[in-house]
Amino acid sequence: MKLHILPLLAVAALACGSANAARPPGNDRATVRASQDRNVGVVESIKGGRESRGNDSALLGTVVGGVAGAAAGHQVGKGRTRKAATVAGALGGAVIGRKVDKAHDRRKRDEPYVLGIRLNDGDRQTVTQNNIGGLRVGDRVRIQNGSARKF
């Protein structure tokens, strides 16, 4: 009787091994559920947003304003007053140029982000939001309540 059990155990072992081999690796329930979720996808593009142009922009506005002010001041005076008018024009133009550039930067930073997202089902969706929370192109996201969050 023991000889009859041996072939049955071998068949059972092969059946168990083939059942595990048929299942693809990494295909657990969470992965399957995520791949079927219409609200999950990958960020393809990020546009607009509160991108800070940094101090280079303020420096550029200051320099351009200063040069324009110096040119205008140079046209005003004659002799000794020309030098004073040029210096005053340069300083005034620099201050005005810097303020104008900072106001432009503030408007630019108030723009919302526009994210292009390719969903798991192949559709594409655009999401507009004020904060992207460190998202980058290529990140997997879930869209909930009209905004994308890292998945």
Q: Running DSSP on this structure, what letter comes out for residue 37?
A: -
What is the pTM assigned to this prediction?
0.43
Give the three-class secondary structure for 23: coil
Q: How confident is the model at residue 108 (pLDDT cuts 50, 70, 90)?
A: low
CATH fold of the domain at 31-50+111-151: OB fold (Dihydrolipoamide Acetyltransferase, E2P) (2.40.50)
Give the bridge partners for 147, in sequence order.
Answer: 144
Q: What is the pLDDT of residues 39-67, one digit of tens each?
A: 899 999 999 875 544 455 568 888 888 88
Which has more pLDDT, 78 or 17? Answer: 78
The CATH 2.40.50 portion of the chain extends over: 31-50+111-151
Which has more pLDDT, 36 or 48? Answer: 48
Is it the case that residue 5 has pLDDT exceeding 70? no
Question: One-letter amino acid identity for 6?
Answer: L
